[in-house]
């Protein structure tokens, strides 16, 4: 059986403690939350940290709350908690849609929102979902906290702006009325990583006929920062029609850069980027109009 190489283990008791441990052990230490990305990589010895800092006791980071006009999701929120949250469902159906197809129920019991974002796997679903929602990451370090738009959070595959001595503590999602959202994913089998996926958040004018604001996230198709900005630019102010959504899909497809792998060839993934963008937009718009759940 695959087993990790040796390392030291420390369990953090608070965010401050976690930061102190990171400072003490330096760049060869890694924070572990649910562990469902990091531990498999350690078993394959693709990751060999010298020290693991376990933050599972930081229940202060496992919260879903409303603060002003922000929905605040703590980094230690388990996927299952996000999926089950009535508050999340009320405001952002896209997150429920995405969570329903992230891994499987048992993995979702353990894996965390922060862990998924920090792992920054190009096929990870929440990055696109939060990207569509224009969320903000709150990062804490020895110097205090800083906020980074989620669209600037990822610096490349498996890379983020979170520095060696820092941890992601929460994600803030602005709540604005008149919106609807949806996440559409194609996977080869339940629990598989996305072949491709698209998330959309749409805000309509009072009549429901014009798109006032839109966010489109793309998963696993090599889109910069997991978003389809050209398609968003096209759609903003456009009529909320099937034709517009189809055109936005075409633009999203043209501007992504998928790689071929056993999940599919480039042309198929590009096609999916468009198809799923269109579907997500239609669904999001319908939800914005209160037409479907």
Partner 1 sequence: MTTTEERANPIGFGRMTRKEDARFVRGRGNYVDDVRLPGMLYGAVLRSPYAHARIVSIDTSGAEAHPKVRAVVTGQTLEGLNLAWMPTLSHDVQAVLATDKVRFQGQEVAFVVAEDRYAARDALELIDVEYEPLPVVVDALRALDPDAAVIRDDVEGRTDNRIFDWEAGDAARTDEVFAGAEVVVTQDMLYPRVHPAPLETCGAVADFDKVTGKLTIWTTTQAPHAHRTIYAMVAGLPEHKIRVISPDIGGGFGNKVGIYPGYVCAVVGSILTGKPVKWVEDRSENLMSTSFARDYHMHGEIAATRDGKILGVRVKVIADHGAFNSTAQPTKFPAGFFHVFTGSYDLAAAHCEVTGVYTNKAPGGVAYACSFRITEAVYLVERMVDMLAAELGRDAGELRLANLLRPEQFPYTCATGWEYDSGDYPRALEKAMEIAGYAELRAEQAAKRERGELMGIGISFFTEAVGAGPRKHMDILGLGMADGAELRVHPTGKAVLRISVQTQGQGHETTFAQIVAEELGIPPEDVDVVHGDTDQTPFGLGTYGSRSTPVSGAATAVVARRVRDRARIVASAMLEVAPEDLEWEKGRWFVAGDPGQGRTIQEIALAAHSSLELPEGVEGHLDATCVYNPPNLTFPFGAYICVVDVDPGTGQVKVRRFIAVDDCGVRINPMIVEGQVHGGLADGVGMALMQGIAFDEDGNCLGASFMDYLLPTSLECPSWELGETVTPSPHHPLGAKGVGESATVGSPPAVVNAVIDALAPFGVRHADMPLTPANVWRTIQGRPFRTDLAIS
Partner 2 sequence: MKITVTVNGQEYTSEVEPRLLLVHYLRDQLGLTGTHWGCDTSNCGACVVWMDDTPVKSCTVLAAMADGRTVRTVEGLERESGLDPVQQGFTNCHGLQCGFCTPGMMLTSRWLLDHVPDPSEEQIREAISGQICRCTGYENIVRSVRWAAEHPATEEATAQ
By C-beta, is 59 or 262 nearer to partner 1?
Answer: 262
Q: Which residues contact 186 (CB under 8 A, 6 or more apart)?
A: 194, 195, 196, 197, 272, 276
**How far does CA 258 lie from the centroid of its chain?**
18
φ, ψ for residue 220 (rounded to 5)? 70, 15
Residue 20: CB atoms within 10 A of its CB come to 17
Q: Should residue 6 be labelled a site residue for partner 2 when binding is judged by CB under 8 A?
A: yes
Q: x/- site string to partner 2, residues 163 to 192, per CB under 8 A?
A: ---------------------------xx-
Q: Residues binding partner 2: what is the number (CB under 8 A)?
A: 28
Q: x/- site string to partner 1, residues 186 to 215, per CB under 8 A?
A: x-xxxxxx-x--------------------
Q: Which positions from 265 through 284 interact with partner 1, judged by CB under 8 A?
A: 265, 268, 271-272, 275-276, 279
Q: Which positions from 77 through 136 interact with partner 2, judged by CB under 8 A?
A: 103-107, 109-110
Q: Should residue 207 be labelled a site residue for partner 2 when binding is judged by CB under 8 A?
A: no
C-beta separation of 82 from 74 below 8 A: no
CA distance 215 to 94: 11
By C-beta, is 66 or 260 nearer to partner 1?
Answer: 260
Among partner 2, partner 1, none, partner that 105 touches (CB below 5 to 8 angstroms by kind): partner 2
Q: Should residue 7 be labelled a site residue for partner 2 when binding is judged by CB under 8 A?
A: yes
Among partner 2, partner 1, none, partner that 60 touches (CB below 5 to 8 angstroms by kind): none
Question: Which of 195, 225, 223 has the alpha carbon at shortest distance from 130?
Answer: 225
Radius of gyration of the chain (CA): 19
Window of 48-56, 154-162, 211-219, 281-289 that interacts with partner 2 by CB under 8 A: 48-56
Q: How far is the CB of 13 from partner 2 (least distance, A)?
A: 12
By C-beta, is 105 or 237 nearer to partner 2?
Answer: 105
Among partner 1, partner 2, none, partner that 35 touches (CB below 5 to 8 angstroms by kind): partner 2
CA distance 217 to 77: 21
Q: Should residue 59 be labelled a site residue for partner 1 when binding is judged by CB under 8 A?
A: no
**How far does CA 263 lie from the centroid of its chain?**
20
Question: Which of 195, 197, 228 has the alpha carbon at shortest distance from 214?
Answer: 228
Q: Should residue 16 be labelled a site residue for partner 1 when binding is judged by CB under 8 A?
A: no
Binding site for partner 1 (CB under 8 A): 1-3, 5-6, 45, 104, 186, 188-193, 195, 260-265, 268, 271-272, 275-276, 279
- The footprint of partner 2 (CB under 8 A) covers 1-9, 11, 35-36, 39-40, 42-43, 52, 54, 56, 103-107, 109-110, 190-191
């Amino acid at each position: 059986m695959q087993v990790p190489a040796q390392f030291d283990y420390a369990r953090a008791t608070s965010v401050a403690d976690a930061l102190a441990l990171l400072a003490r052990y330096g760049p060869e230490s890694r924070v572990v939350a649910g562990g469902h990305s990091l531990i498999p990589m350690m078993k394959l010895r693709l990751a060999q940290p010298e020290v693991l800092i376990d933050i599972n006791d930081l229940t202060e980071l496992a919260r879903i709350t409303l603060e002003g006009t922000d929905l605040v999701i703590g980094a230690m929120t388990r996927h299952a908690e996000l999926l089950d949250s009535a508050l999340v469902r009320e405001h952002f159906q896209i997150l429920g849609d995405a969570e329903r197809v992230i891994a499987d129920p048992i993995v979702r019991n353990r894996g965390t929102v922060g862990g998924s974002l920090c792992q920054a796997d190009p096929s990870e679903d929440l990055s696109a979902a939060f990207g569509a929602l224009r969320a903000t990451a709150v990062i804490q370090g020895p110097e205090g906290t800083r906020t980074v738009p989620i669209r600037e959070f990822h610096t490349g595959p498996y890379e983020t702006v979170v520095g060696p001595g820092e941890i992601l503590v929460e994600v803030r999602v602005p709540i604005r009325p008149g919106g609807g959202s949806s996440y559409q994913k194609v996977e080869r089998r339940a629990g598989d990583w996305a072949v491709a996926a698209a998330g959309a958040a749409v805000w309509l004018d009072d009549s429901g006929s014009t798109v006032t604001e839109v966010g489109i996230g793309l998963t696993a198709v090599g889109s910069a920062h997991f978003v389809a900005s050209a398609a968003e630019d096209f759609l903003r102010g456009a009529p909320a029609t099937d034709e517009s959504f189809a055109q936005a899909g075409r633009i999203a497809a043209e501007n992504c850069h998928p790689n071929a792998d056993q999940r599919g060839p480039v042309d198929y993934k590009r096609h999916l980027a468009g198809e799923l963008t269109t579907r997500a937009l239609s669904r999001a718009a319908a939800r914005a109009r209160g037409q479907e759940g």
